[in-house]
Chain A
Amino acid sequence: MAVQRRAIQPLGQRPRVLQMADVDKSFNGGVVALRQMSLDVHEGDFISLLGPSGCGKSTALRLLAGLSSPTSGRIAWEDPHGAGDLSVVFQEPTLMPWATVAQNVWLPFRLKGMRYDQVKDEVLEVLRLVGLEKFAGAYPRELSGGMKMRVSIARALVTNPRLILMDEPFAALDEITRHKLNQDLLELKAKIGCTIVFVTHSVFESVFLSDRVVVMAARPGRVIREFTIDAPYPRSEAYRTSADYAAQCRAASDALYQAMGEAA
């Protein structure tokens, strides 16, 4: 079974998966998208990159994904054999409209040369995890926005990668759906024990989801604060209304305002 549970160690005892050290990224025309960014990703982390638009958080994600390479600095995987063993969830569901839900989830396996019947169990298992097993034969256009995003998440999970990158995946959804998917994502993560780097511009989302929040500022994109959210998992809807959550959100907001103030 591809979808297995990995035990999550407490913060501070987790083995490192990936290290980003002193990374600069500038584009032609002299725009500095990232300056001196360092980030350690450990197994089982849920890291949020939080910042205003233009702060380079998506650039950082593309660098981690290997879709572009740093101008200077380095990005190193702890285990060279596992380098690049990752998946991405974009803001758009990014499904192939001509393929059914099951075929879309099969894609990562298909590109590795595996036939559908070889991996059918994994595909159906992960669809069950995201609650879409009844829709395996449906086409994306028949699904709601939230369901499409679940398919996209299922596709990211199906190969059980070492790292999952999420680029504002819930930003385009309505609030109720977003809260539901936040909740479901945490449950999935608890079940599977995956490692997630999550880009968002929502303070509330970052605090609710992650155990580490990295606050970034724009022009040039850089990290200005990093703090941990100690609230234990599983976090439920009750956590959203707790005093602890409010306090954490306020701290993150302050950091974010500072980030935007510095940029302005």
Chain B
Amino acid sequence: MSLDTANTTGFAAVDQEELKRARAARRERLGRWLLPLLVMALAVLVWNRVVVWNDIPKYILPGPVLVVSTLIHDAGILFPALLVTLEITLMALAVAVIGGAGLAILFTQNRWIEMSFYPFAVILQVTPVVSIAPLIFIYVDNRLVGLLLCAWLVAFFPVLSNTTLGLRSADHNLRDMFQIYGATRWQRLRYLQIPSALPYFLGGLRIAGGLSLIGAVVAEYVAGTGGIGSGLAFRILEAGYRLNIPRMYAGLLLIALTGVTIFGVLSFLSHLLLHKWHESAVKRET
């Protein structure tokens, strides 16, 4: 009888612990979304109060309400500009992916090519793009090509270095096995190295997504005013000259939102491709 009770309480204790763990997990899931939102809301509220209570003029610090209403009011100017910036960003990202992954494959196929060219990739990466950009715009007539080139310079390196690392990190026993089964170089690349490199590549892609937006914006600043099809950075610059501070904030908000969206989309893509097999995307039971 006493043994029975002991047993039951024993089981109940385990259940309590499991329940506690489940509650904690639920709280954490909720907190992950709720806490940043709360902090954000609080910050916006403080911003609003500071502006209202201190009667700060809008040409020094516009309040959040004014920024949002400017965003809506100036949508006709800002959204076409956003499209231009987005276009350059996505094109640069695409070229960075093709160029970075392509170079990585070339590097891993032939060590001599890697030895010859890798140092130059590093040089291009470590030289600040603002210092190269003016030269690019002198030599390259086409504005779009110039912008693309700048954004690409910033964005391709993480793809290149991560993919190179990934292509090399294929399990050596699997390599031996491919050799024993007489796999061709192409088969080894296709069935072994590229799948092994995928998680690394996707990590690089997430960094490159943010960097290509930065590259596009910086390039626009350097390219300066003038010309049709001007992007967000140009609009912010222009608003600055006119002391239209609310529009500067609205443009800034749009750029930040764009960056967050790109990161979110790429993270989702990474999850889609990896969640079935890769450790980073697998949920553990304990």
Contacts and interface: CB of A to CB of B under 8 A. Distances in A.
Contacts of A87: 180-181
Contacts of A96: 174, 191-192, 195
B231 to A, nearest CB: 39
Contact of B277 (A97, A111, A112): A97
B180 A66 contact: yes
A200 to B, nearest CB: 17
Contact of A65 (B180, B182, B198): B180
B181 A111 contact: yes
B180 A86 contact: yes
A106 to B, nearest CB: 10
Interface in A118-149: 139-141
* Chain B interface helix/strand/loop/mixed: helix
A165 to B, nearest CB: 9
Contact of A90 (B173, B182, B183): B173
Interface string A70-100: 0000000000000010111010101011110
Contacts of B178: 111
A139 B278 CA distance: 10
A67 interface: yes
A54 interface: no
Contact of B195 (A88, A98, A108): A98
A90 B183 CA distance: 18
A90 B178 CA distance: 13
B195 A111 contact: no
Contact of A92 (B173, B181, B191): B173
Nearest to A113: B187
B176 interface: yes
Interface residues of A, number: 22
A94 B177 contact: yes
Contacts of B276: 98, 139
Interface of A: 65-67, 84, 86-88, 90, 92, 94, 96-99, 107-108, 110-112, 139-141
Contacts of A112: 181-182
Contacts of B171: 92, 94
Interface size class of B (residues with CB under 8 A): 20 to 34
Given A90-B176, A107-B191, 17 more contacts: A65-B180, A67-B179, A87-B180, A94-B171, A94-B173, A94-B174, A97-B277, A98-B195, A98-B198, A98-B276, A99-B195, A107-B177, A110-B191, A111-B182, A111-B187, A139-B277, A141-B279
B181 A108 contact: yes
Interface in B263-286: 276-279, 282
Most chain A CB atoms below 10 A, which of B174, B179, B198, B279: B174
A92 B172 CA distance: 11
Contacts of B192: 96
B191 A111 contact: yes
Given A88-B180, A98-B277, A111-B191, A141 B282 contact: yes
Nearest to B170: A96
Nearest to B182: A111
Contacts of B182: 84, 111-112
A99 B279 CA distance: 14
B277 A141 contact: yes
Contacts of B174: 94, 96
6 contacts: A67-B179, A87-B180, A88-B180, A96-B192, A97-B277, A98-B278
Given A96-B192, A107-B191, A111-B182, A88 B177 contact: yes
Nearest to A109: B181
Contacts of B282: 141
Interface in B176-212: 176-183, 187, 191-192, 195, 198
B200 to A, nearest CB: 13
A111 B183 contact: yes
Interface in B138-192: 171, 173-174, 176-183, 187, 191-192
